[in-house]
Amino acid sequence: MAILSTFALFVALLSFLDPIDAHKTILERPKLHWGPKTPGHQFPHSPKRHKTCYVPNCLSSGHHGKNDDTPEILKAFKNCNKGGTVILNEEYTIASPLDLTFLEAVDVAITGTIKFTNDIDYWVKNSFKYDFQNSSAFWRFGGKDVNIYGRGQGLIDGNGQAWYDAFAAEPTLLRPILLVLDGLEHGSWFNLIANSTDILVSDIDIAVKSESKNPAKNGDGWDTFRSDSVVIQDSHVNNSDDCVSFKPNSTNIIVQGMQCNGSHGISVGSLGQYPAEYDIVENIYVYNVSMSNASDGARIKVWPGTNTPFEPGLSGGGGAGYVKNVTYDTFYNSNNDWAIEINQCYGQSNQTICDKYPSNITISDVIFKNMWGTTSTKYDPKVGTLTCSSTEKCLNISAYNISVIDPSGKTPQWICTNMDESLLDINCVSANS
């Protein structure tokens, strides 16, 4: 599922501590570099910061009767804007939305704990709203030249358990995203990356879990949306939805060195949800990924050509656009239901409707290569499904050096529908086989 609502526990683990001077090192920005795949150009230089702002919490600032550290955090960002480092090294409570889209040349060192309140009624009314998939956010960063890091110390807790439990009783409940990069030019961090360019995300641990019988829902690791030139690398994600997902108008993105567990895969889409929109995803390279206990490994999902009611609060279809130049390279599967899934009728189980209203999204120039491992028993002996609306909608899709096996030891089967099988070095069968 692709609703952008992540309520997980986020731990910023950028582990570059200097045992000689740990305090000084925590304050300094890590020297991160992308690799081995590169975006083809250098990101703009981020100058060294020249002032520091420590953020007191309500207890240390003497405001004992309050339970919201948002005003002090906002004050620190205003004081340290244009050349400073904001230090969040205590325990903070966030009880109101925080709009930090005005930043310029700021570093953020999170070495303490930030926890959002679980006042659902308040947040539903007061979070920042986004049109795409009814998304909203607690906290958003934007501007130019912003670096956020934790040095192995920082913890951001979305306090999602209350939302998981409430969602189980009310499936139309809209859950905010923990943190959004919105309109950021040149920076580093996580979660929803929207309207942004030149973003590097590295060495982050994300854990999404529920402590009750109600499962965690919509816990995407990262989603990119209307963003260009993004590198997401060398991170661990334990969640229950997409590990990384490329939403509409995501271009020139590299995902590499990832370890994902329990997710819905590294996913293109979903796309084509809104009839008035033209969605594109182009120039994506996914390299050196380990995916375990997931519904999918490598995944491309687009809506059909007509409106489709999928789940409460989630429907769509009829939008147009394209997916082009996407490569999945060096991909390990362990107990995933599908090693590869291409689905051009996302959200619709009625094959008659899928056939009658083929997707308006064209998928072309896609490569799956150097993939291995073992799938789960769910579809055994089938290990993947590449299903297109028509041969005109899926062009130049190839798969080779694929050695994924099924648990039973039978010959692995791949469902191939409306595909040019001459480009697929896999054992294709029909959906009804």
Q: Which residues are catalytic?
A: 264
Instruction: Give the contacts of 12 (CB within 8 A, at least 6 positions apart).
Output: 110, 148, 149, 150, 154, 155, 156, 190, 204, 205
* Residue 127: closest CA among 68, 74, 180, 71: 180
* Residue 223: closest CA among 211, 210, 237: 237
Buried b / exposed e along 365-397 (16+ C-beta atoms within 10 A): bbbbebbebbbbeeebbbbbbbbbbeeebbbeb
DSSP letter string over 114-171?
A: EEE---HHHHHHHSEEETGGGEEEEEEEEEEEEEEE-TT-EEEE--THHHHHHHHH-T
Helix then strand count (H, E) for the chain reads 5, 30
- Joined together, the tokens standing for residue 255 give 């995902």
Beta partners for 51?
A: 84
Beta partners for 63?
A: none
* Residue 12: closest CA among 161, 208, 197, 235: 235
Query: Coil, strand or helix: which one is 41?
Result: coil
DSSP letter string over 199-242?
A: EEEES-EEE---SSSSPP----SEEEESEEEEEEES-EEE-SS-
List phi, psi (to 5°) of 137. -145, 150
Cis peptide before 407 (omega within 30 of 0): no
List phi, psi (to 5°) of 427. -85, 90
Q: Are 208 and 9 in contact (CB under 8 A)?
A: yes
List phi, psi (to 5°) of 430. -80, 165
User: CA-CA distance, 247 to 277, in Å (whole number)?
Assistant: 12
User: CA-CA distance, 94 to 87, in Å (whole number)?
Assistant: 16
**Side chain identity, residue 307:** N
